[in-house]
A and B are shown apart, each in its own frame.
Chain A
Amino acid sequence: MLQIEDVIYSWPGAGQPCLRIARLNIVAGRTVFMHGPSGCGKSTLLGLMAGVLQADSGRVQFLGQDWGALSGAARDARRADHVGVVFQQFNLLPYLSVLHNVLLPCRFSARRASRCEGGVAAAAQALLKSVGLDASLWGRRADALSVGQQQRVAAARALIGRPELVIADEPTSALDAARRDVFMQLLLDTCAANGATLVFVSHDERLATAFDERLSLPELNQALQPASA
């Protein structure tokens, strides 16, 4: 699914690389928990995995294709076709309805839209049902929902059109413990039902037990290690 080899990444204008990873392999269908403190490069690594950021050197292979070998437009199209993303918060476009937020990926990917059985609207409604969001909320503006409800909408949006990879960037950090556990279970169940690979990032190591694999980014990222400094 995802292979990373000898990747180095520096933010524009920064003198030193913030990410240096020798090797990482994520197998299709697995759920991976990645943890590390703030500033260890978690979001940067997710950006590289999703093809939004480009490595200075090395290779990030996704579904057998090196992101770096693709043009910008091709990367965007590939991400739209195969990747779903859930953020920590501010996941949704506040001015769109719940339903239109879920439909967003299908606006940019005909492939995702074609994978929706019974049409995109029906698929979005089915996903919203599966994440436990009442039909009375579907027409509401996204910012009229609670944070927990918004995260569930974000999960539905990430999963519409059955993308192969779902990236979740600290999606539970804004939730209380009870809602966090419910959301975690929901995300894992829906990913499993869709056959999606899940890369879940959090600084809360207690969540790791629910996942197939656990990765510590400070251990992976050689840029943080004294010898690389």
Chain B
Amino acid sequence: MKGLLHIAWRSALNRRGTLMLVVLSIALATALLLSLERLRTDIRSSFSQAVSGTDLIVGARTGPVQLMLYAVFRVGGATNNIGMDSVRAIAQHRAVAWVVPLTLGDSHRGRPVLGTTPAYFEHFAYGDKQPLRLAQGRAFAGTLDGLYEAVLGSEVAQALGYGLNQRITLAHGMAQASGELAQEHADKPFTVVGVLAPTGTPVDRTVHVSVQAIEAIHLDWVGGAPLPASAGLKIAPENARKFDLEPKTATAALVGLKNRVAVFNVQRFVAQYSGEPLLAVLPGVALDELWAAVGLGEKALLAISGLVAVVSLASLVAVVLAGLNERRRELAVLRAVGAGPRHVLLLLAAEGALVTLAGALLGALLAAAAVLWAGPWVQQRFGITLAASAPTAEQWLLWASVVAAGMLASLVPGWRAYRLSLADGLSPRT
């Protein structure tokens, strides 16, 4: 067997030009398959890790998935805001332990800005109920003195090179990183007072300020645009503190309960709230709905990747079969020195297996490189952490399936060579 493998290896090297193309084709197919699976796994993991310890998410009445997407993942936008009166009413429910309002809509260089209260840093948890941890500085004070204080997510600080005491300005709306379309709140700059430790969640790409600060920067704005300077209604940053900055509305609110048993009770209370139409969703249930919605798309993508892999393996079979006629002399020489038809079959199958294995290994490396290369961009753009970790069981299974399918496919030219060597004897009739 060792001798046959040596011959198979040398034979493959002899036709390395053609076979390298096949190896590349299999590698790309494998990389596509593994990357998609990695992306699927990490998106699910990222989403599942993004919020824990929060029992309900409350927002204006819309779809549960949409509410969770904009409130937790900063994806999309709210159809409507909810009144702070409603938030306070929910907070007064006897089963509710804490409520944290969330105000979204502004941005800093493409990263979302979240207006909230200091309680956010106390109650928000991710992963396995891990609390937020400050890597540098402190949380914003939430007082009038510390009105223009900001706390950065780790990715914001790292990607933009920010540290403590950095002065930043916020843009109105979710402007792109280039800032071309941004309407800047340039007159009211913020000072960075804290940087959060990495969480692998959308928190990392979020700039956190107080809800009062969000009110302050919008004092001299009407209808989503600043009042013209000529109108003489510009409000200086220090003067903003003289206004009532208590927010009237919020985008959504995170709710923690004293006892999870009351979750449906509180959910019903929110749904039946008479002040305005509200919706309360359980994060886990909303996630299940999300997976159910995207599951079909995931399967379709995986199926397409699988087909790409099948086409690549078909090209392997085609290339080896096409070269078989030219190799009948080679097979006759092997038969003459004592190789049996089964040796010929094994030789061709071993060659196909080597090519498949090389392609699958290269594909796995390509997939790992793609994760390393695209990871920071995906994290910055979508807040999803692509883990450069060991392959998951599903990835191993996919990889092994490609290798196994390649080995099975290699039996086709192997069998053809077997038949030819039986018929040819010592003298191929080419």
Residue positions of A touching B, CB distance < 8 A: 11-12, 43-44, 46-47, 50, 52-53, 72-73, 75-77, 79-81, 83, 85, 87, 90-96, 100, 104-105, 107-109, 157, 167, 169
Is B285 interfacial (CB-CB < 8 Å)? no
Report the Cα distance A43→B341, complex, angstroms: 19
Chain B residues in 8 Å Cβ range of A80? 337-339
Q: Which residues of A contact B427 (CB under 8 A)?
A: 43-44, 46-47, 169
Decide if A12 touches B337 in the complex (CB within 8 Å).
Answer: no
Q: Which of B4, B7, B335, B423 contacts A93 (CB 8 A)?
A: B7
CB distance from A153 to the nearest CB of B (A): 12
- Distance A169 CA – B332 CA, assembled complex (angstroms): 13
Q: For A95, give its contact among B14, B336, B343, B426 (CB under 8 Å).
A: B14
Interface bits B6-34 vs A (CB < 8 Å: 1, else 0): 01001101100000000000000000000
Set A73, A92, A100, A167: member contacting B342, Cβ < 8 A: A73
Also in contact, A95 and B10, with CB within 8 A (given A43-B425, A47-B427, A87-B426): yes
Please give the distance in Å from A200's CB to the nearest CB on chain B: 14
A87–B332 contact, CB under 8 A? yes
13 interchain pairs (CB within 8 A)? Answer: A44-B425, A47-B426, A73-B342, A76-B339, A79-B336, A80-B338, A80-B339, A85-B336, A87-B333, A90-B329, A100-B10, A105-B338, A108-B338
Residue from B3, B11, B337, B341 in contact with A85 in the complex, judged by beta carbons closer than 8 Å:
B337
In the assembled complex, how far is the CB of residue A88 from the closest CB belonging to chain B, in whole angstroms? Answer: 9
Q: In the bound complex, do residue A109 and residue B333 qualify as a contact, i.e. CB atoms below 8 Å apart?
A: no
Point out the residues of chain A lying under 8 angstroms from B3, CB to CB: 107-108
The 7 closest A-B pairs by CB, nearest first: A80-B338, A108-B338, A76-B340, A95-B14, A107-B3, A47-B425, A85-B336
A50 touches B426 (CB 8 A): yes
Known: A47-B425, A52-B425. A95 touches B337 (CB 8 A): no
The answer to whether B333 and A93 touch across the interface, beta carbons within 8 angstroms, is: yes
Q: Write out, one digit per residue, whether chain B residues 407-430 have a CB within 8 A of any chain A CB (1) or not (0).
A: 000000000000000010111000
Chain B residues bordering chain A, tally (CB within 8 A): 25
Which label, helix, strand, loop or mixed, suits the secondary structure of the B interface? helix
Q: Is B298 an interface residue (CB 8 A)?
A: no
Asked, given contacts A50-B426, A169-B426, whether A73 binds B332 with beta carbons under 8 Å apart, the answer is no
Measured CA separation A219–B336 after assembly (Å): 27
User: In the complex, what distance in Å separates the CA atom of A47 from the CA atom of B427?
Assistant: 8
Bound-state CA distance A90–B427 (Å) is 11
Q: Which residue of the partner chain B has the closest CB to A90? A: B329
Q: Which residues of B contact A73 (CB under 8 A)?
A: 340, 342
Do A53 and B340 form a contact, CB below 8 Å, given A93-B330, A96-B7?
no
Are A105 and B337 within 8 A (Cβ)? yes
Cα-based distance from A53 to B337 in the complex (angstroms):
14
How far, in Å, is B143 (CB) from chain A's closest CB?
Answer: 79
Interface string of B322-362 (1 = CB under 8 A from A): 00000001101111111111110000000000000000000
Chain A's closest residue to B425 (CB) is A47
Bound-state CA distance A105–B339 (Å) is: 9
Instruction: Check A79 against B13 for contact (C-beta < 8 Å).
Output: no
Which residues of chain B are within 8 angstroms of A52 by Cβ–Cβ distance? 335-336, 425-426
Q: A93-B7, A95-B14 are in contact. Are A104 and B337 (CB under 8 A)?
A: yes
Q: Is A76 a contact partner of B11 (Cβ separation < 8 A)?
A: no
What's the least CB distance linking A71 to chain B, in Å?
A: 10
Q: How far is the CA of A12 from the CA of B13 in the complex (A)?
A: 34
Residue from the list B333, B338, B341 in contact with A79, Cβ < 8 A: B338
| CB-based nearest B residue for A42 | B427
Q: Which residue from chain B places its CB closest to the CB of A47 in the assembled complex?
A: B425
Q: How far is the CA of A107 from the CA of B336 in the complex (A)?
A: 12
A90 touches B333 (CB 8 A): yes
Question: Which residues of A sit under 8 angstroms from B333, Cβ to Cβ?
Answer: 87, 90-93, 104
Residues B426 and A43 in contact, CB atoms below 8 Å apart: yes
Q: Which of A44, A47, A81, A95 contacts B338 (CB 8 A)?
A: A81
Cβ-closest chain A residue relative to B332: A87
A85 touches B426 (CB 8 A): yes
Contacts of B423 in A (CB 8 A): 11-12
Question: Is there an interface contact between A77 and B335, defined as CB atoms closer than 8 Å?
Answer: no
What separation, in Å, do the CA atoms of A108 and B427 have in the docked complex? 20
Chain B residues with CB under 8 Å of A105's CB are: 337-338
B residues within 8 A CB of A83? 336, 338
Q: How far does the alpha carbon of A197 sit from the alpha carbon of B198 in the complex, in Å?
A: 81
